[in-house]
Structure 1
Amino acid sequence: MSGNIPPAAVAVAAGTPAERLRTLLVAADSVTLLTPTHRAELTGRHRVGPDGRLRVEVPADSGAAHELAREGDLPAVVHVVDLAPIPMPDRVRGRAALTGWLTVEGLRGRRPDLVAVLHLATAGITDTDGTAPVDPDAFATARPDPIAPAETELLRRLDADARTVEQLTGLLPARLRQDGARIHLLRLDRAGIVLRVQSPAGSAARPHDVRLPFARPMRDPDQLGARIDALLGRPPRRVSRAGR
C-alpha cells in the first residue's frame, strides 16, 4: 500500500476551533502572559476551570504580579505554543493567543502567587488543521480531545515502532516522499495521526503536514492499535488482558 491516504478523512472531525484550543492548553510547552508593562512565563501554571475560564498562577516576585495586585484587573494577552514530543528540526505544531481582562481571584502556595482568571474577549488558534478564531462562549463549553493527556506517551511508543512508522509514511502521496524528505509523527488525536514532511536539507520549502484520518474516532488510548490496524489495512489484532 503506498500513496493512498484512506478516504475516511471526512468520517472523523478533528475538532472545532474551541476544542482544538482547549486541547492545545492541556500540554502546552510555552505559556506567556503579557500585561501593558510586564511579561511572565506561566508554563505549568495554567488550567481551565469547570466554568470554562482560563486561570493562571502569576509568580509572586514577578512584575506582572505586582502590577496585578496594585490594579486588581488588567488587560492581558496569553500566548501559547505547542511543540511535538518527537525530536525534529521544526517541532512547533500549534500557536494560540487569548486576550481579555485578567482579574485577581486569590493566592496559592507557600509563596503567595496570585491566582487570576482571564475573562476572555478574543482568541485564535493556528495548528495543523488551520487557522481560526475561537468564540469565547464556545471555548467555555468545549472539551479537550480525550487522547490529549496520553498523547506524548502514545506518540513516543509509536515512533519506536519503525515498521509501523514506515507503513504510515507509505500512505503519503509519492510527491511528498521524495528522496531526502524527513517524515515525522507530529500529532495524535481522536481523529487520526498527523505526519510532518520536511523537505531535504538545504531546501527552503516549508514543512507539509498531512493528516491520516481514522475511520472511527478513538474514545480512549487503548483503541490506538485497532485504529492503526484499520488505517493500514492490517487484520485486527487479538489482545488478551489479565483479568478480562
Structure 2
Amino acid sequence: MTTSKTLVAPTTAERIRSACARAGGAMVAVEGVEPTPTPVHHLLDDGSFAITVPANGRLAAMVVASGSAGMQAVLEMTDYAPLPLREPVRSLVWLSGRLHHVPTRDVSGLLDLIATANPNPALLQVNTGTDDASNGDTPYALVRLEIESVVVADSTGAESVGLSTLLEAEPDPFCTLESCWLQHLESAHREVVDRLAERLPTPLRGGRVRPLGLDRYGVQLRVEDVDGDHDVRLPFAKPVDDVTGLSQAIRVLMGCPFLNGLRARRI
C-alpha cells in the first residue's frame, strides 16, 4: 500500500501567493521609464494583476496611449524579511505581461472587488481622471497586467510556475501575521529561537541564528556566519491550519513535552 508524501515546505505557487500578499515593495518596469513603485498589486480571479501607478506620471499616460494592445511590462515584488538581517531580501517575484488601461467606467467596481480582499489605504487615492487627491496624497490610476510568465527566485534558485497553478494555490494562512510574530519571537522569546537552533546541523550552531520565516509547514532560520548566510527549514510533523496547531507544532520542534503549554497542578 502506498502513502502520500507529506509536504515539508510550501509549493512554488504557494510561496508566490504568500509573497504577493505580504510583499513590502513592488515596482512596475517598462522600457524607457524609470521603475515605478506601486502600493497596490492584487491578483484577480482571471489571472491578471490590478496595479496602481501615479495618475500624473509618464507611465500612466503611456498605458492609455497604448490602447487595446497594451504594453510590455514586468511587475517585480520583493519579499523582505521582517527582521533587520544582513541580507533582508527573502525572495523576488517577477510577473511579465502586458499592461492595460482600466476604463473609467470599470474603476469603481474593480476597486470594490479589490478592497473586499485587500483593503489597502492606497485604494482611496485612486481617482477617475481628476488631478487632485485628498490630504495632498499622490493620486493613483488603476491599470491591469495580463500575465504571460511568473518566476520566483530565492536562496535555493529560480523557478517558474504556470498561471493556472498559481490561481489554484492559496497564500499561507499565517502570511499576514508572520512579520509581527517573528519580531515578537526575536525580541521577547529568544529562548525559543535558541531551542530551535539546537535542531540545526552542528557546523551551523556557531553562527548567529535569527528567525527567517514561519508558515504552515515549518519554521525557517537564518544563520549569519563569517563564511556567509545559511537558511535552514525545520519542518513540522504535518502542516497546520490554525494558531493552536501552530503553537503545538513549534513546541514539538523545541522538544517541549507540554504540547498545550504549562498547566497548574491539581491539589
Fold equivalence (TM over 0.5): yes
List runs of 5+ in structure 2 lacking aligned partners.
108-125, 134-138
Q: Classify the secondary structure of the residue corresponding to 2:177.
A: helix
Q: Classify the secondary structure of the residue corresponding to 2:249.
A: helix
Aligned residue among 98, 102, 106 for 1:105 = 102
Q: Classify the secondary structure of the residue corresponding to 1:139.
A: helix
For 2:228 and 2:153, locate their aligned partners in 1 and report how far apart those are by CA, in whole Å: 15
Please list, as runs of the form range in 1=range in 2, the aligned pairs for 1:119-158 lying within 5 A after superposition: 119-128=146-155, 130-158=157-185
Asked whether the equivalents of residues 145 and 190 of structure 1 are also in contact (C-alpha less than 8 Å), the reply is yes
Q: Classify the secondary structure of the residue corresponding to 1:164.
A: helix
The code of the aligned residue for 1:210 comes to V
- The answer for the alignment partner of 1:215 in structure 2 is 237
The code of the aligned residue for 1:45 comes to V
The code of the aligned residue for 1:171 comes to R
Tell me, yes or no, if structure 1 residue 57 matches structure 2 residue 52. yes
Query: Percent same amino acid at aligned positions?
Result: 31
The code of the aligned residue for 2:200 comes to L
For 1:217 and 1:143, locate their aligned partners in 2 and report how far apart those are by CA, in whole Å: 14
Q: Classify the secondary structure of the residue corresponding to 1:122.
A: strand
Higher helix content, 1 or 2: 2
CA RMSD of aligned residues (A): 2.0
The code of the aligned residue for 2:55 comes to A
- The answer for the alignment partner of 1:77 in structure 2 is 74
Deviation of 1:238 (Å):
4.3
Deviation of 1:130 (Å):
4.3
Q: Classify the secondary structure of the residue corresponding to 1:100.
A: strand
- The answer for the alignment partner of 2:256 in structure 1 is 234
Deviation of 1:60 (Å):
0.6
Tell me, yes or no, if structure 1 residue 189 matches structure 2 residue 212. no
1:125-163 deviation per Cα after TM superposition (whole angstroms, max 9, x unaligned): 013554211112212222111111111122122222011
Tell me, yes or no, if structure 1 residue 20 matches structure 2 residue 42. no
Say which one has the larger Rg: 2
Aligned residue pair count: 224
Asked whether the equivalents of residues 40 and 62 of structure 1 are also in contact (C-alpha less than 8 Å), the reply is no
> Judging changes above 3 Å, is the alpha-carbon distance between structure 1 residues 13 and 117 closer, same or farther for their aligned structure 2 residues?
farther
For 2:95 and 2:76, locate their aligned partners in 1 and report how far apart those are by CA, in whole Å: 7
For 1:146 and 1:128, locate their aligned partners in 2 and report how far apart those are by CA, in whole Å: 23
Q: Classify the secondary structure of the residue corresponding to 1:75.
A: strand
Aligned residue among 201, 204, 228 for 1:173 = 201
- The answer for the alignment partner of 1:5 in structure 2 is none
1:48-104 deviation per Cα after TM superposition (whole angstroms, max 9, x unaligned): 123343210111122111111221311101111111101221111111111011111
- The answer for the alignment partner of 2:40 in structure 1 is 45
For 1:36 and 1:135, locate their aligned partners in 2 and report how far apart those are by CA, in whole Å: 25
List runs of 5+ in structure 1 lacking aligned partners.
1-9
- The answer for the alignment partner of 2:141 in structure 1 is 114
Asked whether the equivalents of residues 96 and 124 of structure 1 are also in contact (C-alpha less than 8 Å), the reply is yes
For 1:130 and 1:101, locate their aligned partners in 2 and report how far apart those are by CA, in whole Å: 26
- The answer for the alignment partner of 1:7 in structure 2 is none
For 1:237 and 1:129, locate their aligned partners in 2 and report how far apart those are by CA, in whole Å: 34
Judge which range, 13-22 or 205-214, deviates more. 13-22
Judge which range, 70-79 or 133-142, deviates more. 133-142
Q: Classify the secondary structure of the residue corresponding to 2:223.
A: strand
> Judging changes above 3 Å, is the alpha-carbon distance between structure 1 residues 161 and 150 closer, same or farther for their aligned structure 2 residues?
same
